[in-house]
Structure 1
């Protein structure tokens, strides 16, 4: 029987290494992300007055808050601008959900520019809403602080 040459052995070893490395890389890429940092921040933007968009955004925030990997590690803010002010208008059906978010430490913020431009009276909003000078300024500051920016799209009517 013919003995394998040194070159053939090296080639076989290289192929085996490549296959094993690919398997390890694939396993790492498909594993869930680990929350290794001590602190995370996420700012959600709502700029639609659609009840479906508001509900979807609130659900996204609740999902984030209930992720066991982030328990006690995540700070969240919801910034409303443009037509998103509807999320904070009294008697809109979202008061209990918003209060629950606030009880979980979520900062509920409204853009003052929107209120002025759309002639919305601050008294028409829930009293627990914080008004900030600018929604875009709030997002910019949070991103500079390392926060994730999340802007859920409008819900798919087919779902």
Structure 2
């Protein structure tokens, strides 16, 4: 008798689970993203690798954020390079036009002064539109304390 009760009970439990799962899947499918309720959003992107895939990803991620319709007119972004990320800012790199385009969209494109000193790179070797900050890590610390999102592509 117990065997006959267990099977229907298990079928009822499975049916209930399947219905819940279907509802959850439908709810998830209908989700369209967080609502941007704040007046202003801030993000600082960290660039510390001389890896073309990482550099291109950082630039692409920034452009995607700037193009997000929820954030239009509400977003301030900074891209700070230090360590090996500095190479993206050196004259002759393949990123000049992409970096200029970011600046043209209001992005602060900044370089760590400490890295220049440690690597003995004269400021003149950087594109002339690059801003300088005393330290990349200091910039990240200050911005995060001010409520900025820190993004490492």
TM-score bracket, normalised by the shorter chain, equals 0.7 to 0.9
Gaps of 5+ in 2: 1-18
TM-score normalised by length of structure 1: 0.77
> Is residue 84 of structure 2 the alignment partner of residue 55 of structure 1?
no
> Is residue 27 of structure 2 the alignment partner of residue 27 of structure 1?
yes
Aligned-partner Cα distance in 2 for 1:89–1:33: 37
Q: Which residue of 1 aligns with 2:8?
A: none
Aligned-partner Cα distance in 2 for 1:117–1:40: 33
Q: Which residue of 1 aligns with 2:85?
A: 84
Aligned-partner Cα distance in 1 for 2:120–2:51: 19
Q: Which residue of 2 aligns with 1:96?
A: 97
Aligned-residue CA RMSD in angstroms? 2.2
Deviation at 1:34?
0.8
Aligned-partner Cα distance in 2 for 1:87–1:97: 10
TM-score normalised by length of structure 2: 0.80
Aligned-partner Cα distance in 1 for 2:41–2:53: 27
Gaps of 5+ in 1: 1-18, 153-159
